[in-house]
Structure 1
């Protein structure tokens, strides 16, 4: 059975789809795409996917709702065209941080989206969803790909005098994974909020960072506020170099400039989102191929 990789309709998806197809030695298919005058999306497959394993790559980037609709339409197209397996790769899975009800009356947004995807695809893979437990809402095979060891291998960190930190206890497993690969210490930041002023303070739990190169690891940078505060603390405590490693670099507003102007030496990210000028990106196409290989001929 042949494998066909179908690129999504944005540049991020096209780049990863091309890399994935090369890694799998698979056919690459670029759908015909247009927008009707009323704003509705149109897609058509120019390739024959009948009896194939059809792999759609669609990173759910801004505008997220449009990206989601296109992923649904592509899923319907490959199913209608007789694909034997329908596989969706969402390198960036939008709405994954809305994974529970915070205020009464809210939806669990990621649940709604994954339930829709499960109507069109029988396998879903993503790069580091915010909480892996959310993938239970996709009621078929779901794969959460953790890229940190792979990224560190590609970057080639000097493991001498280095340590790994997570911004909080909730991300400690990411620090453990990376520190195990680098054979170095790891720790996390403790956050505290002043009940009167509302100011948030952070400090490392135990680690002495003086003179060390520090890798701050997390799943996503959005506005960069937490990483910025962590960087300032690490600099005050005598850290030598500060590297940030994330799966998804949103870097909204002027977050990129703020981080680099306040002591961050490098930001490394997977290429799941549109690129920023000063970020070093790691192509995750080969990593996705490796994780899919067990499900492909």
Structure 2
């Protein structure tokens, strides 16, 4: 691993250090800051000529700032003659607009993919993209990781009997995810019927599938943003008699009224990964944060050694 270099942006230093510790290498020396007018400044403070470089930076809020910092880091490495630059993006922001569902709107996910590619990224390592087709927006190889093994391992330790367990999908778009978790954890599958009334508001009225009365319900989603969908689904499941409700997601964005909604939802537990750093006011008493550092570290090691990534999920 001597020709491997890992650098971190400022978005999630704790995760970057954990990944470096897993790999047994130190984080590379980099000076990141801002000029007096707010422009991003960057300097790589060690030799990376001919090295295999990995830049760890989730483009989480503030998205514009973290994205710009990633782009400047990529350019710095390319101009310092790095052999290969891989961007490790645990959370890929700007992923919601992945298609034109109405007139005169952008496909921002494609735009950001183009910018990262043109900046000089040779490869992208991402986790639980909001839509799988975003992989095709990049003109460089993309390794797409899933946090499902990490989340499943947590719930397997709870030893919930299969006959008491229901895996609920908070909307129709997450059915495939729910089926995948049910295959590993067991239990029945239920779907909450969600109707979107606006960009910010949704309504949930019906539960399709296995009965939830007296059951322990697990709900999985790729991200919790304003928590409207997940809390609306939890309310319906409570009305249908669910005994316990546990919510899990990969990316805890938790913006706007999310914390207030999750507090009012009276969930038994909220499980997320450390792809996005949480502030103290975002950490509720029932929140459990799982580390994805070993998974990302192992993926980086396999990319560096030209080994299979898909074997991590078999």
Category of TM-score, reference length = shorter chain: over 0.9
In the TM superposition, what whole-angstrom CA distance separates every residue of 1:138-194 from its partner, at most 9, and x where no partner exists? Answer: 111112211022222145232312221111121112112211111222222223579
RMSD of equivalent CA atoms: 1.9
CA offset digits 1:217-270 (Å, max 9, x no partner): 111111111111111111111111111101111222332232232231111111
* Aligned-partner Cα distance in 1 for 2:180–2:93: 24
| Whole-Å separation in 2 of the counterparts to 1:192 and 1:180 | 27
Please say if residues 59 and 93 of structure 2, whose CA atoms lie closer than 8 Å, have aligned partners that are also in contact.
Answer: yes
Q: Gapped runs of 5+ residues in structure 1?
A: none
How many Å separate the matches in 2 of 1:45 and 1:91?
Answer: 22
Q: How far is the alpha carbon of 1:49 from its aligned partner?
A: 1.6
**Could you tell which deviates more after superposition, 152-161 or 87-96?**
152-161
Equivalent runs, 1:46-65 vs 2, <5 Å: 46-65=45-64
State the partner residue of 1:122.
122
Q: CA deviation at 1:35?
A: 0.9
- 1:277 is matched with 283
What does residue range 1-297 of structure 1 map to in structure 2 within 5 Å?
A: 2-10=3-11, 12=12, 14-119=13-118, 120-154=120-154, 156-160=157-161, 161-192=164-195, 200-275=203-278, 276-278=282-284, 279-297=287-305
For this pair of structures, how many residues does the alignment match?
292
State the 1:203 CA deviation: 1.8
TM-score (norm 2): 0.87
Gap change, CA 1:50 and 1:157, over 3 Å in 2? farther
Structure 1 pair 226–107 and aligned structure 2 pair: CA distance change class (3 A)? same
* Residues 202, 229 of structure 2: 8 Å contact kept: no
- In 1, distance between residues paired with 2:24 and 2:70? 23
TM-score (norm 1): 0.92
Unaligned runs of 5+ in 2: 306-314
In structure 2, relative to structure 1, the CA distance for the partners of 1:201 and 1:27 (3 Å cut) is closer
How far apart, in 2, do the equivalents of 1:250 and 1:210 lie? 30
Shift of 1:133: 0.5
| Alpha-carbon distance in structure 1 between the residues aligned to 2:123 and 2:195 | 41
How far, CA to CA, are the matches of 2:190 and 2:34 in structure 1? 49
CA, structure 1 residues 36+192, in 2 after alignment: closer, same or farther (shift >3 Å)?
Answer: closer
Q: Secondary structure at the match of 1:226?
A: helix
| Contact 1:269 1:282 (8 Å CA) reproduced | yes
